């Protein structure tokens, strides 16, 4: 009886999984179709047009999608580095150091978690415009360097909860050996917070890789376009949109995020679970 219930449960899960996967199957099939075949009820075309991937890769005049991928890597690498370093430093200070108004500043940090991103768009744009940072990657690097940017307060809160679970006796032992606060941070806290740091890195990667609006707001020239911005070049109000090529490139654009998530899934789940239980 128990085995039958398990089999029935697994069958239901498989059916619902296939239903949830249907849009992805349609996406893959549509990327292999011509414009005339898009309205066909068939999920996959009779003759797959794999040329959509090759033609879509070089569809932008004077550029290919390898340039846009490299721009994505350049932007994300800087954001990841600055965000992880700055957020871990701030989290270490809140979790370990005793400084004036610490509880008040931490409460202000938690309040910013409820602040809509849309509220800060206009003042940030005005500030970056006056600093002549428009059409550069500095509007992405600098906020994360200052522990701000997309998800900054959440990352700090997550790391604070994780660091608080580390026994303070380790700090005291390190102090007796002559270790400074920065030495404690670098030699003890950072190695022990690896699951939480991986979680922060995955979140930061995914949110910034998919950040179409922010990249559209600050990047103007095609040579600095990321993959997200390059996809909008397929849409031409004066001509025919090559839907197959656009869907092919959009499918390729999500592959890095999917691969990163599955490769680091173990650390991601461990970091979330540890932060929730220990915090």
Q: How far does Cα 26 stand from its chain's mean position?
A: 25
Cα–Cα dist 102/60, whole Å:
52
Out of 48-57, 72-81, 172-181, least confident range: 172-181
For residues 82 and 144, the answer to whether their CB atoms sit within 8 Å is: yes
Beta strands in the chain (DSSP E): none
Cα–Cα dist 274/279, whole Å:
8
Q: Is the pLDDT of residue 279 over 60?
A: no
Place of tokens 């001509």: 239
Higher pLDDT among residues 186 and 268, named by residue:
186
Whether the full predicted model's pTM is greater than 0.85, yes or no, is no
Q: What is the pLDDT of residues 34-65, one digit of tens each?
A: 888 888 888 888 888 999 999 999 988 888 89
Domains with residue ranges and CATH for the chain: 63-278 (1.10.3720.10)
C-alpha angle 150/151/152, rounded to 5°? 95
- State mean pLDDT over 255-268: 79
Q: Is the pLDDT of residue 4 over 90?
A: no
Cα–Cα dist 96/89, whole Å:
10
Q: What is the pLDDT of residues 178-233, one digit of tens each?
A: 888 899 999 889 988 888 888 888 888 888 888 888 899 999 999 999 999 999 88
Cα–Cα dist 87/37, whole Å:
49
Specify the DSSP class assigned to residue 52. Answer: H
């Amino acid at each position: 009886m128990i085995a039958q219930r398990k089999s029935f449960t697994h069958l239901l899960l498989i059916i619902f999984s296939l239903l949830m996967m249907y849009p992805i199957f349609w996406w893959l099939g549509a990327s292999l179709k011509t414009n005339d075949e898009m309205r066909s009820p068939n999920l996959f075309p009779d003759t797959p047009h794999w040329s959509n991937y090759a033609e879509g890769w070089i569809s932008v005049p004077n550029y290919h999608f390898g340039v846009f991928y490299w721009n994505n890597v350049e932007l994300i690498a800087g954001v990841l580095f600055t965000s992880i370093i700055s957020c871990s430093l701030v989290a270490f200070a809140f979790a370990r150091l005793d400084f004036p108004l610490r509880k008040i500043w931490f409460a202000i940090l938690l309040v910013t978690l409820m602040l809509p991103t849309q509220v800060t768009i206009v003042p940030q744009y005005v500030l970056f415009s006056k600093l002549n940072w428009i059409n550069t990657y500095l509007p992405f690097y600098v906020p994360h360097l200052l522990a701000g940017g997309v998800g900054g307060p959440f990352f700090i809160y997550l790391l604070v909860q994780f660091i608080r679970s580390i026994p303070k006796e380790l700090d005291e032992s390190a102090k007796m050996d002559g270790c400074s606060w920065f030495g404690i941070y670098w030699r003890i806290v950072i190695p022990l917070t690896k699951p939480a740091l991986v979680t922060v890195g995955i979140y930061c990667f995914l949110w910034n890789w998919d950040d179409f609006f922010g990249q559209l707001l600050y990047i103007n020239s095609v040579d600095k376009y990321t993959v997200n911005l390059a996809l909008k070049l397929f849409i031409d109000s004066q001509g025919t949109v090559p839907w197959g090529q656009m869907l092919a490139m959009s499918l390729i654009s999500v592959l890095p995020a999917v691969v990163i998530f599955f490769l680091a899934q173990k650390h991601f789940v461990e970091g979330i679970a540890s932060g929730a239980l220990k915090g």
